[in-house]
């Protein structure tokens, strides 16, 4: 296996805790660069433009696609999300490990365009736990939650397409395992 830093993609169902794992990991290792995606979703309370996401409108997202500026993009629960290509390539070329936290459709696109990428599936400890997390966030409408559960069922079945599975039993353990996979520690 190559020791050269490479692209790592963390994916899995919505609500499984991807962003919590990533936040925990970056607190200990701020040098791990996480791509900031563009999205047409409206900011949630506390989210800042350019930090969690670049918040754009539909026209701006159309232009990003048309100009080939996205490494991958997908529609998730009615909003579009995409990874800006240039910054990812620039970081990889300079030898930095790069992490994407994206949905399954995006992970599949990355596997096609960058087969050397390492695809990591974050699985919930159980289906019941995933439902609890998805319904407990309290920021989305019942329709959005139902849509996310439907998507999550499909996404769980995709585990076998990934190089590695990490089960999210403890944020600390999973963050450490992810760092090891990225050869950061
Ligand atoms: P949320 O709206 O909860 O922040 O994110 C919803 C879903 O979109 C999550 O599963 C998240 O991983 C995914 N996501 C975030 N950014 C991107 C991206 O750039 N591309 C793709 N394909 N999915 C993304």
Mean pLDDT of 28-53: 95
The minimum-distance atom of ligand 1 relative to the CA of 19 is 12
d(CA 84, CA 82): 6
Query: What mean pLDDT is predicted for residues 90-102?
Result: 94
How remote is the CA of residue 83 from the centroid of ligand 1, in Å? 9
Regarding beta strands 118-123 and 37-39, do their DSSP bridges make them parallel or antiparallel, or are they unpaired? unpaired
For the chain, what is the mean pLDDT? 92
3-state secondary structure at position 121: strand
pLDDT tens, position by position, 12-27: 987 899 999 999 999 9
In the β-sheet with 98-101, what is the strand arrangement from edge to edge?
33-34, 98-101, 7-11, 118-123, 164-167
101 C-alpha to ligand 1 centroid (Å): 7
With a CB cutoff of 8 Å and minimum separation 6, the contacts of 140 are: 148
Domain extents in the chain: 8-181
Q: How far is the CA of 144 from the centre of ligand 1 (A)?
A: 14
Q: Provide the token pair at 174.
A: 């999973």
Ligand 1 atom closest to the CA of 14, numbered from 1: 10
Kindly tell me if the per-residue pLDDT of 1 is higher than 50.
Answer: no
Q: Is the pTM of this model over 0.85?
A: yes
Phi/psi for 99 (5° steps) reads -120, 130
CATH of 8-181, one of 1.20.120.160, 3.30.379.10, 3.40.1550.10, 3.40.50.300: 3.40.50.300
Q: What residue ranges line ligand 1, CB within 6 angstroms?
A: 14, 18, 37, 41, 72-74, 76, 81-83, 101-103, 105-106
In angstroms, what is the span from residue 21 Cα to ligand 1's centroid? 14
CB distance 76 to 11 below 8 Å = no
pLDDT of residue 141: 86
Residue 25 CA to residue 101 CA, distance in Å, equals 12
CA distance 129 to 120: 20
pLDDT, tens digit, for every residue of 158-171? 999 999 999 999 99
- Residue 12 CA, closest ligand 1 atom number: 10
Of ligand 1's listed atoms, the one at least distance from the Cα of 70 is: 19
């Amino acid at each position: 296996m190559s020791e050269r830093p490479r692209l790592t993609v963390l994916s899995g169902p919505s609500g499984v805790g991807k962003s919590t794992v990533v936040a925990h990991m970056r607190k200990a290792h701020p040098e791990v660069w996480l791509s900031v995606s563009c999205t047409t979703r409206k900011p949630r309370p506390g989210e800042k433009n350019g930090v969690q996401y670049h918040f754009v409108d539909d026209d701006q997202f159309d232009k990003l696609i048309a100009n080939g500026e996205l490494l991958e993009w997908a529609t998730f629960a009615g909003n579009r999300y995409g990874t800006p290509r240039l910054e990812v390539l620039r970081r990889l070329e300079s030898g930095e490990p790069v992490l994407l936290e994206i949905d399954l459709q995006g992970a599949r696109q990355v596997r096609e365009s960058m087969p050397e990428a390492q695809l990591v599936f974050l699985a919930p400890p159980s289906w019941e736990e995933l439902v609890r997390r998805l319904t407990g966030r309290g920021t989305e409408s019942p329709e959005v939650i139902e849509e996310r559960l439907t998507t999550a069922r499909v996404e769980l079945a995709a585990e076998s397409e990934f190089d590695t599975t990490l089960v999210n039993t403890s944020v600390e353990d999973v963050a450490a395992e992810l760092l090891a996979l990225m050869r950061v520690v």
